[in-house]
Structures are given as structure tokens and as C-alpha cells.
Amino acid sequence: MSPQPLPTRHKAQVLEEFGKRYILKTWPIPTITSSNEVIVKVEAAGYCHTGAVLSSGQNWGGHTPLPHIGGHEFAGTISAIKRCRLREGQRLGIVGCGGGLGHLGLQFADTLGYRVTGVDAADGPLELARSLGTRATIIDARATTAEAVLQEIGKQDQQTEPANTGLDAVVILPETQHGFDFGVKLLKNHGTCVAVSKPEKGWHVSAFDLVFRDIKLIGSMLGTKTTLQEMVDFAAKHNIKAVKKAYALADLNDVVADHHKGLGGRQVVDMSM
């Protein structure tokens, strides 16, 4: 069968002004201009905090002119855990455990045999995290302190030395300084903090934590092709489920509104709806 010709136009939600609503339009399909480009037919696209930040005009940096078509997240990825190089039975924390990435990380980490502590600070994400059926301990950061969590970990591990009490690694997903500080406080000395988010004003990092506690701070944005394939295979084998709410393309502005409400899981635009 000969290949079918591509259509010349498609439907798209277009951002014409920062801070304004998206507008559903018929838009020209782009053309390939070099050998390292492809055209992708999008079946579904997640709406994440990056989209919210960019559409508001924050952190734009002038890299892409308006009008702009969003939807860069064709599929969710988790890579930070592997970089930590944890061993089965070690302790891992996920701050933002009920969000789009966090609820997946919670399932991956639990299945990999880590002792997981999930932290969030909103009702919807906390409810979602507790409903996943993992063995993770879920913490409401509004109702308890990092010091109280450390005290409980010390009891469970029969550890009385503060330097050796806490998590071996923590993944920071929210863009708040409070979330970052809460996660770092949960680390034992020589622990690893993996920052995935990108706050507009950056993080304030304690020199005491870096120098005297030997906390390692690393970033993680994307996985390699091999890592992503391993992730997909692992998810299929162990029934890792992405909890999502699907919307039609015409309802993208509802996606934006629901995202800012702090719902758990991932909001996804489904092109088949």
C-alpha cells in the first residue's frame, strides 16, 4: 500500500497572548526542513506545570515567538530514581507524590523495592497517592513537620543517631521553596536530592546541608532512549498505571483551570474525543 498523503491543516489550541485563553483554530501542519526532524501525529498530550508557566509568560526567555501551540509532553517520564542508584530496601522520598509525575514515581519506587515516603500538601493529590495500593507512607506536609517524620523513621529503623536517620534520596517535584526544604530535611547525611522542577527564582540551598551534611544535589529532566524504553517495559510488566483525566481539544481552557486547582494525577488532551 502506498503511503497516504499528509493533510495540510490540523486543529490546534493556539496561545496568541501571554496570560490569555487558548483559541481553537485550524492550523497549517509544519513541514520537515532537515534530516533530523519528523512529524508526529499526536494522540494525547499531557498538560503540566511547564505549560502553565509558559502560557503565563514566566520563564519564557524569548525562545519561541507567539502565536504558540503548546503540548510538549507526549508521554510521562520518570528517570530521576535510577540516577540515585538506590538499592532495594533503601529509603526514597517523593515530594509532590500525588501529581502527574509523582503518582507514577510512587508506583515505580514501590515496585522496585524501595521504602517510600510520599509527601504532598493538597487534598486531591494526597487522596490519589493513598489510593494507589502501594506500601508507601504518605505524609500531609500541612499537618506534620519534617522533624516528626524523621522521628518516626528513626523508630522504625531503630536508629538514634540523627546523622544516620532519614531518607537515602529524595525527588523534589513541586516548585516551592517549602517543598524543597521539607524534602532536604528528610535526608540523612550523605543523602541525594534530585530536583526535577524549575522555580522561576531558583532554589535557596543551605551551605550547611551541602558542606557539613554532604547532601548531593543533582538535576534530572529527560531520560535516554534506552532508559525510556526500560521504563515503558517495566510499567507494562508491573501494571504501573497513569491516573489521568481526559479532555477534548476544544476544552483545553478547562484543562488549564483544573491544573491550577491542584488536582491529582495528570490532565490529558485526548485527540479522539
For residue range 144-196, list pLDDT tens digits in order: 999 999 999 999 999 989 989 999 999 999 889 999 999 999 999 999 999 98
Which listed CATH number (3.30.70.3040, 3.40.50.670, 3.90.180.10, 3.30.365.10) goes with 9-74+243-270?
3.90.180.10
* Residue of 244 and 213 predicted with greater confidence: 213
Going from the C-alpha of 269 to that of each of 31, 72, 146, 264, the distances in angstroms are: 23, 12, 36, 16
Pairing of the two strands 167-172 and 137-140:
unpaired
**Residue 12: phi, psi to the nearest 5?**
-155, 145
pLDDT tier, 108 (very low <50, low <70, confident <90, very high otherwise): very high
pLDDT of 80 > 60? The answer is no
Going from the C-alpha of 200 to that of each of 25, 54, 55, 73, 156, the distances in angstroms are: 30, 11, 14, 20, 38
Looking at residue 77, its pLDDT comes to: 32
Looking at residue 167, its pLDDT comes to: 96
The answer to whether residues 182 and 206 touch, using CB atoms and an 8 Å cutoff, is: no
- Where are the CATH 3.90.180.10 domain residues in the chain? 9-74+243-270
Average pLDDT of the residues in 29-45: 68
CATH code of the domain occupying 80-221: 3.40.50.720
Q: Among 62-76, 152-166, 255-269, whose mean pLDDT is lowest? A: 62-76
